[in-house]
C-alpha cells in the first residue's frame, strides 16, 4: 500500500543507516571489534543490513567515490574503505535478496555515468527489491576521480550541477517509458505489451541526446527515491527541485533550522509539497551506559588514527589543498574556492577561524567529528527529539563511527528510548521505501490528470 500523506498525517521521525563498513571513522578497521575486511565481506554487510532492518530503520545507504582520494601511497596504505569496498549498486542488489522491508540507497555519479545506464540500473534495482531502491545523486568530488574518465581535472562545479539537472530529467523521463499498466504478457494473443502505452523520450539537450525507450517496465515506486547531499547554493537548488531526501551536515541546531526552513521554502516556491522533501542531517553517535564510558570509547577510537591520515583527510575536504606547503603549527591559509564540496570547505574554514586553530590542531580535532554526539541513550534521544521537534530535521542520517558496535548500540539502546518517547515506529507499515518515508508514488508524466 502506498502511503497518502496529507495535512492531518502525524509527522514521523525517519532514520537512515549510513553504512560504511567497517565504519565512518578512517581508522575504524583497526578497532578490535571490527571486521578489518568489512568493505568486501558480504556476509558481514548482510548482517549489518539485517540489524538495521530489525531496528526498523527506513533505509541503509552506501556512499561511493569513483577513485581513491589520497595520492600519497603511504597514507593510502593506512586506510580501508576508500581502497577496498563493494560498488554500491551491485551491493544493494545482493542486499535486496537478503532483506525484505528496509530501503536500499546506493550512490551514483551524474558526472561519470550516462543517464541510460543509470536509469536501467536503478529501475532494475527497484524491481529486484520490490520497490525499495533509492539513488543518492552525486556530482563526484575530486580530480583523482576525473583522471579515471579521460580528464585531467574534475568538471567545474557549476557545469556539473547543470549536467546533473539534465541527467535527472533524462533518467526520470526514461523511467516513464512504459505506462504502469503497459505489460499484459498475454500468451494467448501473443501481445506482450500494449503499444499505445509506450512513450519514446526523444531527448535532445545540451549534455545528452537520448532516444529511449528504456528496456524495462516502469519501476514499482514509479521513481526510485532520489537523495541529494550537496549544500552549496547550486546543490540546495537541485535538492529543492528534485530530491525526495536531503542529507545535510550541521554543527548546531540553529544552522540546521536555517537550512531546513530555507530548503522547504525553496521546494514550495518550486511548486512542490515541502513535506515531500525529507531533510536528514548527519548524526554520528557513540553510546555508553554512562557519559564516562562513552567518552572513553571515543578516545580509544580516535587514538587509532595515524596523524598523516588525519592531515591528508583534512587537505582532501578543503578541496585538495597541498597543506605540506604551509607550517603545521601556523594558521590555515586563505584558500581558493573548492571545486570539490564547497559546503564541506566552508564548514572546516569556519571551524578553524572560530577556534583560532593551527593546521595541526584542526586535523586532530576533526578526528573528533563535530557531528558526533557522545552520550547515554537518554542524552542522544534528547538530541534527536530536540532537532526533530525544533524543525531542524525530519530525522537523521545516522553515521556509525565503527561497525558493528555503534549500530548494535544504536539499535538496542537508542531506538528503544525513542520508542518509549513515542518518536519512532515499532513496525514497518508499507512495503516500499516511499511508504517508509511517507512519500507518494509519482505518477508517470504521461498519465492523465
Ligand atoms: C552525507 C553525505 C554523503 C555524501 N556522499 C557522497 C558520496 O558518496 N559520493 C560523492 O561523490 N559525494 C558525496 N557527498 C557529496 C555531495 O553529494 C556533493 O556532491 C558535494 O558535497 C559537493 O556539493 P556542494 O559543493 O554543493 O556541497 C556526500 C555529502 C554528504 C553530506
Model pLDDT for residues 300-350, shown as the tens digit of each residue: 998 999 999 999 999 999 998 888 889 999 999 999 989 988 888 998 998
- The C-alpha cell at 62 is 552506501
Q: How far is the CA of 226 from the centre of ligand 1 (A)?
A: 14
Domain presence at residue 258: yes
Q: What are phi and psi of 335, to 5 degrees?
A: -120, 150
Strand partners, 134: 105, 225
352 vs 358: CA distance, rounded Å: 7
Domain presence at residue 215: no
Contact 418, 381 (CB under 8 A): yes
CATH number (domain holding residue 299) = 3.20.20.30
- Confidence check: pLDDT of 380 > 80: yes
| Beta-strand runs (E) in 370-445 | 372-375, 395-399
| Beta-strand runs (E) in 161-200 | 183-186, 191-193
Domain presence at residue 184: no
Q: How far is the CA of 341 from the centre of ligand 1 (A)?
A: 7
Q: How far is the CA of 141 from the centre of ligand 1 (A)?
A: 7
- The C-alpha cell at 171 is 533518467
316 annotated ligand-binding residue: no
Beta strand pairing call for 203-204 and 191-193 = unpaired
Ligand 1, from 24, 88, 229: best to mutate by most atoms within 8 Å of Cβ?
A: 229
Domain presence at residue 261: yes
Q: Is the CB of 235 under 6 A from ligand 1?
A: yes
pLDDT at 370: 54
pLDDT at 82: 85
- Confidence check: pLDDT of 111 > 80: yes
pLDDT at 8: 52
Q: Which residues contact 14 (CB under 8 A, 6 or more apart)?
A: 58, 278, 280, 394, 395, 396, 436, 437, 438
Strand partners, 283: 398
Q: Is the CB of 177 under 6 A from ligand 1?
A: no
Determine which residue's CA is closest to atom 18 belonging to ligand 1.
Answer: 230
Q: Is the CB of 107 under 6 A from ligand 1?
A: yes
- Is 57 exposed, middle or buried, given 0-12, 13-18 or 19+ CB atoms closer than 10 A? buried
Domain presence at residue 3: no
Domain presence at residue 129: yes
Count how many domains the chain has.
1
pLDDT at 369: 65
The pLDDT-based confidence of 9 (bands split at 50, 70, 90) is low
- Confidence check: pLDDT of 3 > 60: no
- Confidence check: pLDDT of 5 > 60: no
pLDDT at 351: 87
Q: Give rounded-to-5 percent helix, strand, coil for the chain.
A: 40, 15, 45
334 vs 353: CA distance, rounded Å: 11
How high does pLDDT run on average in the chain?
94
Contact 266, 258 (CB under 8 A): no
Contact 437, 58 (CB under 8 A): yes
3-state secondary structure (DSSP) of residue 227: strand
Least confident of 4-8, 43-47, 50-54, 172-176: 4-8
Average pLDDT over residues 399-403: 95
Q: What are phi and psi of 24, to 5 degrees?
A: -70, -35
Q: Is the CB of 343 under 6 A from ligand 1?
A: yes
64 annotated ligand-binding residue: yes
Contact 146, 154 (CB under 8 A): yes
Q: How far is the CA of 247 from the centre of ligand 1 (A)?
A: 9
Of the candidates 86, 60, 89, 68, the one whose C-alpha atom is nearest the C-alpha of residue 26 is 68
Q: Give DSSP secondary structure letters for 301-366.
A: HHTTS-HHHHHHHHHHHTTS--GGGS-TTSBPPP-PPPSS-HHHHHHHHHHHHHHT-BHHHHHHHH
157 annotated ligand-binding residue: yes
369 vs 375: CA distance, rounded Å: 14
Of the candidates 88, 14, 7, 8, the one whose C-alpha atom is nearest the C-alpha of residue 244 is 14
445 vs 438: CA distance, rounded Å: 21
Average pLDDT over residues 99-119: 98
Average pLDDT over residues 37-57: 98
Q: How far is the CA of 69 from the centre of ligand 1 (A)?
A: 14
Domain presence at residue 335: yes
Q: Which residues contact 419 (CB under 8 A, 6 or more apart)?
A: 426
Domain presence at residue 190: no
Structural domain harbouring 274? 14-151+223-437
Average pLDDT over residues 6-32: 88
- Could you report the per-residue pLDDT of 249-271, keeping only the tens digit for each? 888 999 999 999 999 999 999 99
Q: Is the CB of 345 under 6 A from ligand 1?
A: no
385 vs 379: CA distance, rounded Å: 10
Ligand 1, from 106, 138, 149, 393: best to mutate by most atoms within 8 Å of Cβ?
A: 138
pLDDT at 344: 87
Amino acid at each position: 500500500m502506498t502511503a497518502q500523506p496529507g495535512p492531518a498525517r502525524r509527522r514521523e521521525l525517519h532514520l537512515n543507516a549510513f553504512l560504511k563498513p567497517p565504519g565512518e571513522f578512517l581508522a575504524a578497521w583497526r578497532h578490535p571489534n571490527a571486521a578489518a575486511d568489512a568493505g568486501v565481506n558480504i556476509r558481514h554487510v548482510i548482517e549489518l543490513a539485517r540489524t538495521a532492518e530489525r531496528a526498523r530503520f527506513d533505509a541503509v545507504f552506501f556512499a561511493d567515490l569513483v577513485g581513491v582520494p589520497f595520492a600519497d601511497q603511504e597514507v593510502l596504505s593506512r586506510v580501508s574503505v576508500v581502497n577496498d569496498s563493494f560498488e554500491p549498486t551491485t551491493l544493494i542488489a545482493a542486499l535486496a535478496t537478503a532483506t525484505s522491508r528496509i530501503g536500499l540507497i546506493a550512490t551514483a555519479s551524474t558526472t561519470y555515468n550516462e543517464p541510460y545506464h543509470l536509469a536501467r540500473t536503478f529501475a532494475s534495482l527497484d524491481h529486484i527489491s520490490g520497490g525499495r531502491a533509492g539513488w543518492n545523486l552525486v556530482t563526484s568530488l575530486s580530480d583523482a576521480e576525473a583522471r579515471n574518465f579521460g580528464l585531467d581535472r574534475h568538471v567545474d562545479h557549476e557545469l556539473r550541477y547543470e549536467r546533473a539537472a539534465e541527467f535527472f530529467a533524462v533518467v526520470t523521463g526514461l523511467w516513464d517509458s512504459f505506462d504502469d499498466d503497459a505489460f499484459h504478457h498475454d500468451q494467448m494473443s501473443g501481445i506482450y505489451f500494449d503499444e499505445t502505452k509506450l512513450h519514446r523520450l526523444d531527448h535532445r539537450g545540451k549534455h545528452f541526446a537520448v532516444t529511449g525507450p528504456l528496456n524495462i517496465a516502469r519501476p514499482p515506486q514509479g521513481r526510485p527515491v532520489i537523495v541529494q547531499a550537496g549544500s552549496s547554493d547550486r546543490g540546495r537548488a537541485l535538492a529543492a527541485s528534485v530530491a525526495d531526501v536531503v542529507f545535510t551536515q550541521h554543527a548546531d541546531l540553529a544552522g540546521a533550522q536555517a537550512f531546513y526552513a530555507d530548503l522547504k521554502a525553496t521546494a514550495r516556491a518550486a511548486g512542490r509539497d515541502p513535506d515531500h522533501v525529507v531533510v536528514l542531517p548527519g548524526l554520528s553517535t557513540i553510546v555508553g551506559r554512562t557519559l564516562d564510558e562513552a567518552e572513553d570509547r571515543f578516545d580509544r577510537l580516535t587514538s587509532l588514527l595515524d596523524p598523516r591520515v588525519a592531515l591528508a583527510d583534512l587537505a582532501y575536504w578543503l578541496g585538495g589543498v597541498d597543506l605540506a606547503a604551509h607550517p603545521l603549527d601556523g594558521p590555515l591559509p586563505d584558500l581558493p574556492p573548492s571545486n570539490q564540496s564547497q559546503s564541506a570547505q566552508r564548514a572546516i574554514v569556519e571551524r578553524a577561524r572560530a577556534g583560532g586553530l593551527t593546521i595541526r590542531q584542526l586535523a586532530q580535532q576533526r578526528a573528533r567529528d563535530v557531528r558526533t554526539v557522545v552520550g547515554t541513550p537518554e542524552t542522544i534521544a534528547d538530541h534527536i527529539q530536540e532537532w526533530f521537534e525544533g524543525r531542524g530535521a525530519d530525522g537523521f542520517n545516522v553515521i556509525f563511527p565503527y561497525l558493528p558496535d555503534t549500530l548494535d548500540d544504536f539499535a538496542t539502546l537508542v531506538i528503544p528510548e525513542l520508542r518509549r518517547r513515542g518518536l519512532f515506529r515499532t513496525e514497518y507499515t508499507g512495503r516500499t521505501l516511499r511508504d517508509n518515508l511517507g512519500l507518494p508514488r509519482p505518477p508517470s508524466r504521461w498519465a492523465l490528470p
